[in-house]
Chain A
Amino acid sequence: MTNNARDAILQRLQNSQPSFDNSDKPVSVETPEWPIKERIEQFKSILESVRAEVHLAHPDHWTDTLKSLAKKKQLNNLLYAKKGPLGKMIEDSWDNTEQPVLVNNEGPISEWKESLFFHIDAAVTSSRAAIAETGSLVLWPTEHEPRSWSLVPPVHFVVLDANKLYNTFAEVVEHEQWQQDMPTNALLISGPSKSADIEQTLAYGVHGPTDLIVIVLT
């Protein structure tokens, strides 16, 4: 059925392909370019306007920030990637007796889905890049930091290197030449999950995290 449909649809489209006037010059859209300090300010203010938290930290001491924020939220546990880019620093700075308890699981999610869905309070992941114009984090989830970590736990901590803060989405795509090798899943995350489906009233924490907390390393 579907092969016939394919050929019939394509045949019809080919037979009636329109002749557009392509003489229009492509429009050139100017993209903003801010110095790094302004980029960070823009990124921070846009994210905060959608109720995300943004904290600046020193690259050597960010785990202190993470720890104090996690304590303040009274989290019981924190999911982290042992083999991910943040793993070693987190382990080195965490005491075994400290709250929240560090949790790691390298197995396929299907093997510990219940625990992820109903018992994990928070997860911490790295971020590949970010976008100042829209206050967006760019995540390319990996085998160490799977995609559901930034989605299922109610609190999501993200650690971002300020040097990876671009001006616009277009700039990231072009600079990193995304079209050459797209990952399984690429994500832009620009705040905690939200909805305005009831009377246009914003409510946070619908299906994804209720809290998005970004630690920017400067």
Chain B
Amino acid sequence: MQQSAEFHTRVEHALANGQIKASFRSAMDGLMAKRKAAFPDTEALEILRLHGAQIRANSLSKLPELLEQLEMNCHKNGIQVHWAESIEDANNIVLTIMQNHQADLLIKGKSMVSEEMELNQFLEQHGIECIESDLGEYILQLAGEPPSHIVAPAIHKSRQQIAHLFNEKFPDIPYSDDVDRLTRNAREILRKKFYAARVGLSGVNFAVAETGTLCLVENEGNGRMCTTVPPVHIAVTGIEKVVEKLEHIPPLLKLLCRSATGQTITTYFNMITSPRKLGEKDGPEEIHLVLLDNGRSRIYEDDELITTLRCIRCGACMNHCPVYARIGGHAYGSTIPGPIGSILEPQKAGLDKLGDLPTASTLCGACAEVCPVHIPIPKLLNRLRYERTRNDHAGATLGQSSGRTVMEAGTWKGWSWVHSQPRLYRLAMYIITRLRKLLPQRIGPWTQVRKAPHIAPKTLHELALKEGFNDK
């Protein structure tokens, strides 16, 4: 886990890289325009967002009951449910399933929870090969890099970089930087893996408690391959992804697809309710659902921070964030980057580890304006900044008060004290205005990119008195 200095180094590195900045700028501009075109009627959009927020808030308010209902219905349908407190637990559950089937190859659909678990590294330590099958994720796996965007993971890479990467890894395939050709090459390579793998893994976009159904949203067909062809399917998800009713799915799907990429709908919406039934000719014979907590139940304890858990992972907040567009996804150093990552990840890992992320924001509010489920992201960023420096030890946030320094706390205590003593305050202001030329011109990071503040020759009190205002 990162410390402050590493974060700042990565940010500086990203800001100095013109190619990264250009890639993100053009991709984000495109995604913003597409989202806007997908919601031509602003009034209808606002109604839909309110509806989405209500559905998610309602599901969270009944979370323990809905998880039990989901588990019961999954069992009834033949899906095996596993609960994991931590990523270690979740990784071990997946490993045990792999070992029970003597499987040495796992074919994976896109799953941010598996990224959170660092599942690939874990399984590889146990001699199991993991293959990412989403095109973007596959490119990154070849490059040995993590995703830089939750919806478009390889957005930071240029076509030429990808072409060179393929050429380096598969020298037998002729070099091409044509997107169609590269896509076709990946299809041919991965088709053999889908064919061979005994276990497939996917994430979950929505889990429906009422019916025990796992819903997956995708365009490529790799998610369907992973959940259809191998005899065993493992789905990993966070406990917050449960939704109460099936009727809640159409509005959430509409919000998700249009907010994420401006598509009316994705190519595939895959709803899985049971393993292969008697007489059916394909589909997995076994399905396992792994429900991961990893700090989510702690976020759940706080009536304000709980709204973090409404997220449906559309990525619209990062597409619209001026900070994300400039530093890119890798600079954050967390599984999920951007505004939602800056509130979610520090709560999971602790403010002592990722406490800088809530400061990587201008609080411009663009994220909250586009969030399809009305997460008040700027408010939560402020709240986490406060949690990082408060020291009354109230509340459940991990790493609370870890950013508090004696110097800063002392300064503000002094400031507060001076402001409560009128005579002292005036004396202090008098001295500061008279000695303004002696004040330092270099004040830490502030003056690295700005001029020092210019102090007036007389205090506001003096000027007001001179103008005849009564001081009583």
- Interface positions of A (Cβ within 8 A of B): 1-3, 5-6, 8-10, 12-14, 16-20, 22, 24, 26-27, 29-30, 46, 50, 106-110, 113-114, 117, 133-136, 141-143, 146-148, 151-152, 168-170, 173-174, 178-179, 182-201, 203, 205-209
Contact = CB atoms under 8 A, between A and B. Distances in A.
Interface residues of B, number: 100
B152 A13 contact: no
Top 4 nearest A-B pairs by Cβ distance? Answer: A208-B221, A197-B136, A188-B269, A207-B221
B4 interface: no
A13 B66 CA distance: 11
A17 B302 CA distance: 9
A179 B69 CA distance: 14
B283 A185 contact: yes
B267 A207 contact: no
30 contacts: A1-B89, A2-B83, A5-B85, A5-B89, A9-B293, A14-B64, A17-B63, A18-B300, A27-B50, A27-B54, A46-B264, A109-B282, A114-B195, A147-B228, A152-B229, A174-B247, A178-B211, A182-B211, A182-B246, A187-B268, A188-B268, A189-B268, A199-B158, A200-B27, A205-B183, A206-B135, A206-B183, A206-B187, A206-B219, A207-B191
Interface of B: 26-27, 30-31, 44, 47-48, 50-51, 54, 57-58, 60-61, 63-64, 67-68, 71, 82-85, 89, 92-93, 133-136, 139, 152-155, 157-159, 162, 179-180, 182-184, 186-187, 190-191, 194-195, 210-213, 219-222, 224-225, 228-229, 231, 239, 245-247, 249-251, 253-254, 261, 264-277, 279-283, 291, 293, 297-298, 300-301, 303, 306
Contacts of B136: 195, 197-198
A29 B277 CA distance: 36
A50 B268 CA distance: 13
A86 to B, nearest CB: 17
A84 to B, nearest CB: 12
A205 B184 contact: yes
B28 to A, nearest CB: 10
Nearest to B210: A179
B274 A184 contact: yes
B282 A146 contact: yes
Nearest to B52: A27
Q: Which of A9, A26, A192 has the most CB of B within 10 A?
A: A9
A197 B247 contact: no
Given A9-B83, A29-B47, A148 B228 contact: yes
A142 to B, nearest CB: 8
B154 A197 contact: yes
B269 A143 contact: no
Contact of A182 (B71, B213, B229): B213
B287 to A, nearest CB: 10
Contacts of A3: 83
Q: Which of B54, B68, B211, B221 has the most CB of A within 10 A?
A: B221
Contacts of A194: 219-220, 267
A196 B261 contact: yes
B343 to A, nearest CB: 17
B280 A146 contact: yes
Contacts of A13: 63-64, 67, 239, 297, 300
A188 B159 CA distance: 31
Nearest to B287: A184
B64 A200 contact: no
A44 B344 CA distance: 41
A178 B54 CA distance: 22
Given A148-B282, A182-B212, 8 more contacts: A148-B229, A170-B251, A184-B277, A188-B268, A189-B268, A191-B267, A194-B220, A199-B158
Given A185-B273, A207-B187, A10 B279 contact: no
A14 B44 CA distance: 36
B297 to A, nearest CB: 4
A198 B210 contact: no
A2 B281 contact: no
A104 B139 CA distance: 37
Contacts of B239: 9, 13
Contacts of B281: 106-109, 143, 146
A169 B271 CA distance: 13
Contact of B182 (A148, A178, A198, A205): A198
A10 B64 contact: yes
A185 B281 CA distance: 13
Nearest to B211: A182
Nearest to A193: B221
A123 to B, nearest CB: 12
Contacts of A17: 61, 63-64
B222 A207 contact: yes
A2 B221 contact: no
A199 to B, nearest CB: 5
A198 B61 contact: no
A37 B179 CA distance: 38
Contacts of A14: 64
B267 A190 contact: yes
Q: Which of A110, A173, A196 has the most CB of B within 10 A?
A: A196
Contacts of B221: 151, 193, 206-209
